[in-house]
Structure 1
Amino acid sequence: MLNNIITIAPGLVWNIDQAPHALVSGVTGGGKSRFLLYLLLELYKRGQIRVIDPKRSDLYQVTKRLLPETHVATTPGQVGRLLRETHDELMARYERMDAFGQPGVTYRDLGLQPLTVIFDEYAAYIADIEDDKKLLKEAKKYIRRIILLGRQAGCFIIIAMQKPSAEVLSTDIRDQLSMRAILGQMDSTGYTMVFGSQPGMRYEYRPAGSGYLYVPGQGYSIPQTFDAPWIDDVSTIEELLWKVKQQKNLN
């Protein structure tokens, strides 16, 4: 099993066990999708991946042939099922950890792989189901439980959207997403939504493919500028993912 540290940029890393879950934001064309594909590649090397992509954009196109059909969701019904099954896996892992009989046991002590849900276009999904109160309540319940309980069991979630307003992404959920990134230029309200109030912080113009990143516990207290790992051709990511899959099959 690979270690839990993902290199984002020189001097900037994300330790998924110490800072679980992530929020990735950015306007159209800012590079958010390509950054998500890089994270997908790194997390797939380390464990299991589930993908939610209501708009069937790059994430869906790359993973629909790579992952089992049940591990990729686009429709509201599929999304609800995937979240429920991820939650069930989370609770099953806790049962195994309890059976281990020692305090402080984590998924790594049991030799389990991290399981990460990458949820792109979260706002689009919420808009699709806002009239279905039952489905909306269920989805938020599973997301909240994955976020609150996932660290010890190795179940993580990355939520991606253009601007994480409180009307779409409730504050109690947003506050639990440790790694936070903005790709491209964002207005002042957007920076505050993602990073919170940062007195004296001045955000400079950032072109597509670059932005600001904050990961707690890494020795800095304010968001850092970074150039995201950038792969121009989506087919290149697809090829790299297939190589990882073949290696997994050999093992």
Structure 2
Amino acid sequence: MRLLPEYRGVRVKPYMRRMNMIIFVLLFCLPLPFLGVYVFFNREAIQNLDFFVIGVIGICLLCDLIVSLYLKWFLQEATPFFKKLERLGRMSRYLFEHGYVYENRTKGQNARTKYKFPKVYMKQRKFDLDVSFEMAGNKFQERFKKIGGELENTLFMDYMETLDSHRYKTYTLAYSAFLNRISVSQVRVEQGKGLRLMKNLYWDFDSDPHMLVAGGTGGGKTVLLRSIIRGISKVGVVDICDPKRADFVTMSDIDAFKGRIVFEIEDIVKQFEKSCVIMMARYDYMRKRQKELGHKDLKKYYDYGLEPYFLVCDEYNALMSMLDFKQRSRADAAIGNLLLLGRQAGCFGIIAMQKPSREDLGSKLQANINFRVSVGRLDEGGYNTLFGDVNQNKEFKYLKYLSGIRIYGRGYSAVYGEVAREFYSPLLEKGFSFFDAYERIERHENRFSPDENAEIKPEIVDDKELMNVVHEVAQQIDLPGPKEEQDGFLEGDVEETFTVLEVAEEIGTSARSVRDVIKILESEGYCDFERKDGKYIVVSFENKEMLVSLFNKKEDFTGTWSNLIEAYFSN
């Protein structure tokens, strides 16, 4: 129980909507007493129409007007106190213009209207502010529940979070996020906090496993990814996949990354599968240590003296487009196991792509990538896909210039299920060389990799007993994010199913033809299809696209369906 009421800040009142005028008038009136003294001592000259004296007074008034206008603008731009006053005025004007006001009309000959706002308080701090709205049954409370995005536009700030308390709903907004930007050399893993990305932002990969980085060309994604790799490679093993051979080619000869960077498509798929072998080998070691130490439950990887392991894949969209059906199935299975089961063993995935896509990441995996970052510009669909329904009322802005200076690496970041916040990727200092920085990194041996330890066999992933233990551990871990969003971060994102008739209509053929092809696929062992009420159903987008692709290829193919299917899967 509180002995004193909580301080919620300054109450916003109707007169504050004229704050700019009030500040201007105060500044304008400050020199007027001195001008009044001049007028008093020259009153006889003014009465005699002395044009010189009158001209001096007129010039002084004009200068006072110009200086007051300039000072009003400058003080609001440069001083915290006047910025706070300006925000109060802006908030008051928003409430008045949008009808959040009670009107009281007086009667009589001198009738006038008095205005009053519901209880709205603004509490301003150095880097953020709280706007609290009373929710105790007033007629505006339903509108107050959805006002977060409007506050972003009104105050030109970044909407951070919402707090519900007794009688009040409080929105926290941040400004000056640019001041929290750090340089590339300051990116490091700090004990108990995670990887430092800004002064006030960390990726705690133990609590929020796996990262998804999205951003278009020229947005700063490469610098961010290189900074992340530099930070995490100091505390653990990092394997890197670069399907475009673009940004990490020069690193392959550096000692810390020798043998850990792959470019060929088949090698990347094998790297995904090898990451699962590494994960299972770590689990096997942890299980043995658990028995030796007498632990009742399997603890986290660091409790058994293990370092984290990271799998980084750049240009994931491009990679998926290069895979054939068999490679795609292998890649999906491997990356799926890593994202679903890797947390306890300290195996984490970092996936970078130009635009997040439901086709490239299955819906079951999307909710398990907890930390999301965007840099540069994404379209509205990209932001919705990346940050989910909880940010549907957030106004994502694209800023090219800040205070007249061109900025790079600006975007947003969020833990899955939380409101996205403004983000600035680490700043590349003048003269800084990633190559030189990577060369100074000490190599971490990976004793769980079959490439570096002959005792580790790839067949460990087929150990059913070990796999059962791993699944039991995974089920005991609290999945992040709201319950209603566990199936993915896309709105309405569930595993799609299609009837044979729907697939046939999309292709432009008969349902019977589609069923005949499905029967051939099943009889020759290429894939299985589920049945519902005795009828075939296509349970994934990938299988539907495979059928569409087969029918498209059949138009130019002279052989039988069996020959076409064999050629399709062999390629």
TM-score (norm 1): 0.90
Q: Quick check: 1:43 aligned with 2:243?
A: no
Residue 89 of structure 1 corresponds to which residue in structure 2? Answer: 278
Give unpaired runs (5+ residues) of structure 1: none
Q: Counterparts in 2 of 1:75-86, with a 5 A limit?
A: 75-86=264-275
| Deviations, residues 58-113 of structure 1 (Å, cap 9, x unaligned) | 23333453445431111111112211211111001111111122213121112111
| Shift in CA distance, 30/63, structure 1 to aligned 2, threshold 3 Å | farther
Per the alignment, residue 398 of structure 2 pairs with: 205
1:83–1:143 Cα contact (<8 Å) kept: yes
Task: Give yes or no for contact 1:2–1:45 (8 Å, CA) kept in 2.
Answer: no
- Asked if structure 1 preserves the Cα contact closer than 8 Å seen for 2:251 and 2:257, the reply is no
Q: Render the CA deviation track for 1:190-248: whole Å, top value 9, x for unaligned.
A: 1011101223200111443111001259xxx31010111022579612211211227x6
For residues 53 and 233 of structure 1, the distance between their equivalents in structure 2, rounded to whole angstroms, comes to 26
Q: 2:441 aligns with which of 238, 244, 248?
A: 244
Who wins on radius of gyration, i.e. which is larger?
Answer: 2
Aligned to 1:112, the other structure's residue is in SS state coil
**Equivalent residue in structure 2 for 1:122, among 316, 339, 344:** 316
Task: Tell me if 1:60 matches 2:249.
Answer: yes
The percentage of counterpart residues that share the same residue type is 30
Contact 1:26–1:183 (Cα < 8 Å) also in 2: yes
CA shift in 2, pair 1:21/1:211, >3 Å: same
CA contact under 8 A between 1:51 and 1:60: conserved in structure 2? no
Task: Map Cα deviations across residues 155-198 of structure 1 (whole Å, 9 max, x no partner).
Answer: 11101001111112222222211110000111111101110122
Please identify, of 173-182 and 17-26, the stretch whose mean Cα deviation from structure 2 is larger.
173-182
Aligned length: 243
Letter paired with 1:51 = I
Quick one: structure 1 residues 154 and 226, their matched pair in 2 at CA, closer, same or farther if it must change by over 3 Å? same
1:165 aligns with 2:357: yes
Name the counterpart of 2:341. 149
Partner of 1:187: 379
Cα-to-partner distance string for 1:27-85 (whole Å, 9 max, x where unaligned): 00000011000100111011000000001122333345344543111111111221121
Partner of 1:109: 303
SS in 1 for 2:299: coil
Q: Which residue of 1 aligns with 2:210?
A: 21
Within the candidate set 405, 410, 421, 1:224 is matched to: 421
Code of the residue aligned with 1:212 in structure 2: it is Y
AA aligned to 2:335 is I
Question: Any conservation in 1 of the 2:384–2:392 contact (CA below 8 Å)?
Answer: no
Asked if the contact 2:239–2:257 (Cα under 8 Å) also holds between the matched residues in 1, the reply is no
Relative contact order, CA 8 A, sep 6+: which one is greater? 1
Give yes or no for contact 1:21–1:147 (8 Å, CA) kept in 2: yes
- Pairwise CA RMSD: 2.1
2:325 to 97, 115, 133: 133
Match of 2:367 among 175, 178, 196: 175
Relative to structure 1, the CA distance from residue 133 to residue 194 in structure 2 (aligned partners, 3 Å threshold; closer, same or farther) is same
1:6 aligned to 2:200? no
Give the 3-state SS of the residue equivalent to 2:344 in structure 1: helix
- Whichever residue aligns with residue 199 of structure 1, its letter is Q
CA–CA distance in 1 between the matches of 2:366 and 2:320?
A: 15
Range 151-160 or range 102-111, more displaced: 102-111
CA, structure 1 residues 228+68, in 2 after alignment: closer, same or farther (shift >3 Å)? closer
Q: Secondary structure at the match of 1:158?
A: strand
Q: What does residue 215 of structure 1 align with?
A: 415
Structure 1 161/232 Cα, relative in aligned 2: closer, same or farther at 3 Å?
farther
Tell me the SS of whatever aligns to 2:360: coil
* Distance (whole Å) between structure 1 residues aligned to residue 428 and residue 255 of structure 2: 18
Deviates more, 1:229-238 or 1:197-206: 229-238
User: What amino acid is the match of 1:40?
Assistant: I
Q: Which of 56-65 and 114-123 deviates more?
A: 56-65
What amino acid is the match of 2:395? Answer: R
SS at match of 1:134: helix
Does the CA-based 8 Å contact 1:24-1:181 persist in structure 2?
yes
Is there any run of 5+ residues in structure 2 with no aligned partner, and where?
Answer: 1-188, 401-407, 446-571
**1:78/1:67 Cα in 2 relative to 1: closer, same or farther (>3 Å)?**
farther
Q: Secondary structure at the match of 1:57?
A: coil
Read off the aligned partner of 2:426 and give its amino acid letter: P
Higher mean alpha-carbon deviation, 18-27 vs 192-201, is at 192-201
Does the aligned pair in 2 maintain the 1:64–1:72 contact within 8 Å?
A: no
Q: What is the alpha-carbon distance in structure 1 between the residues aligned to residue 229 and residue 217 of structure 2?
A: 19
Q: Could you tell me whether the CA contact under 8 Å between 1:53 and 1:59 is conserved in 2?
A: yes
Q: What one-letter code is carried by the residue in structure 2 that aligns with 1:224?
A: R
Deviates more, 1:24-33 or 1:162-171: 162-171
CA distance in 1, matches of 2:372, 2:416: 9
Tell me: CA distance 1:32–1:39, structure 2 relative to 1, closer, same or farther (3 Å). same
- Structure 2-normalised TM-score? 0.41
